Amino acid sequence: MKLTNQELIRYSRHLNLPDFGIETQQKLKDSKVLVVGTGGLGAPLLQYLTAAGVGTIGVVDFDTVDETNLQRQVLFDTSDINQPKTAVAIRKLSAQNPGVSFVEHNVRLDASNAFGIIKDYDVVADGTDNFQTRYLVNDACVLLNKVNVYASIFQFEGQVSVFNYTFPNGEKGPNYRDLFPTPPPPGMVPSCAEGGVLGVLPGIVGSLQASETIKVITEMGEPLAGKLFLFDALGFSTRTMNVRKEPTNPISGDHPTITELIDYDEFCGIKKLDTTKIRSINVSELKEWQETGLDFQLIDVRENYEYEFSNLGGLHIPVGVIVNHLDQISREKKVVVHCKAGGRSAKAIELLQTRYGFKNLYNLEGGMVAWQKEVDKSMELI
């Protein structure tokens, strides 16, 4: 469908650009882009692709809006808390540009549905925050011959690249597995929830990701294919590294061994938490241990800001860095590990037991939430 008169007015600042014109804007309208993730990167990415006039935008996410998202995910506000991110995003983006069609994929992208979702799009923009999905998106794009515009953020740093791009001479560019042949060990790289992220960083990096997506669609400029752009917000420094194709790449190298999607949790060493192997105590038992003077160690694995706000006086080792402090964890006495509600501490215990041989660990059931409810109602939590 050709651009309408109203659209010509809306996109007039594009049309005024040298060598852009109506034909290039039409390419945007005719394109279909899948955005994987509506979080810190996905928010600015979606907003700028919508404003630019990409004709069809698919939105993939399975999460709901959480209050902790609002510090950086500028597409959402307080009234959106607990609502599905995809629905909220599409509602707001539709108001931003009624001329864009949106397709909602309120699901967790995995090996069972990735082909069915990705096949209908021209370009995939990956704004996810875990290695399993990054490898999944990469492999699906390579096998389906789709361009993968990649970005990631961590604390104060971000990176952007364009994977599986076909150059004008017909040569295929490198993909994610050329840059990262293997994932890091589980727990080695903290998530944004564990390690934190500067609120404005995803806005900067997500905007760069949107720019690369538009360049791929319009065939203008030189996309970051075969290159990795690195940005450091604290030092305000940038550098661009070359990425080369590796003959040993298992999906696109000289002798490919991956011809279909695999189990990416297994590939990344992620195992389902087996709580049956984790011993636990409740808050009443912990209180009794304290009052009777039992010799035990208490470890708090929450983040710094949580611990500083309120704590039970235990040794503070955030879960994201716990493997760097093994020498501080007793192997002789009983050790009680806790977090806010019991989830992070259970993961920490499983890691310490399975990889480092600890046999004296106990998870505090319900964590600080249970302590506040059953022991100290005056305690405030965040």
Which tokens in the block code for residue 127?
Answer: 């704004």
pLDDT tens, N- to C-terminus, the chain (382 residues): 899 999 999 999 999 999 999 999 999 999 999 999 999 999 999 999 999 999 999 999 999 999 989 999 999 999 999 999 999 999 999 999 999 999 999 999 999 999 999 999 999 999 999 999 999 999 999 999 999 999 999 999 999 999 999 999 999 999 999 999 998 877 666 667 667 889 999 999 999 999 999 999 999 999 999 999 999 999 999 999 999 999 999 999 999 999 999 999 888 887 766 777 899 999 999 999 999 999 999 999 998 888 999 999 999 999 888 999 999 999 999 999 999 999 889 989 998 998 899 999 999 999 999 999 999 999 988 8
Class of domain 31-267: alpha beta
pLDDT of residue 88: 97
pLDDT attached to residue 273: 65
Give φ, ψ of 380 to 5 degrees: -100, 145
CB of 178 closer than 8 Å to CB of 244: yes
Neighbours of 5 (CB within 10 A): 7
* pLDDT value at residue 325: 95
Instruction: Give Cβ neighbours of residue 327 (< 8 Å, ≥ 6 apart).
Output: none
pLDDT given at position 277: 84
Q: Which entry of 65, 114, 147, 339 is annotated as an active-site residue?
A: 339
Buried b (16+ CB within 10 A) or exposed e, 221-246: eebbbbbbbebebeeeeeeeeebebb
Note the pTM of the prediction, 2 decimals.
0.80
So what's the pLDDT on residue 190?
A: 66
Q: What ranges do the domains of the chain cover?
A: 31-267, 275-374
Residue 339 designated active-site: yes
pLDDT at 187: 62
Mark residue 120 as left, alpha or beta (left: phi above 0; alpha: psi -120 to 50; beta: remaining): alpha
**Quick check: 335 and 352 in contact, CB under 8 A?**
no
Q: Which of 141, 142, 192, 336 is catalytic?
A: 192
Which pLDDT score, from 0 to 100, does residue 47 have?
98
Query: How far is the C-alpha of 120 from the C-alpha of 136, rounded, in Å?
Result: 17
Reduced to 3 states (helix: H, G, I; strand: E, B; else coil), residue 25 is helix
Burial of 171 (0-12, 13-18, 19+ CB in 10 A): exposed
pLDDT at 1: 84
| pLDDT at 184 (0 to 100) | 83
CATH class of 275-374: alpha beta
Whole-angstrom CA distances from 20 to 26, 27, 233 are 10, 10, 31
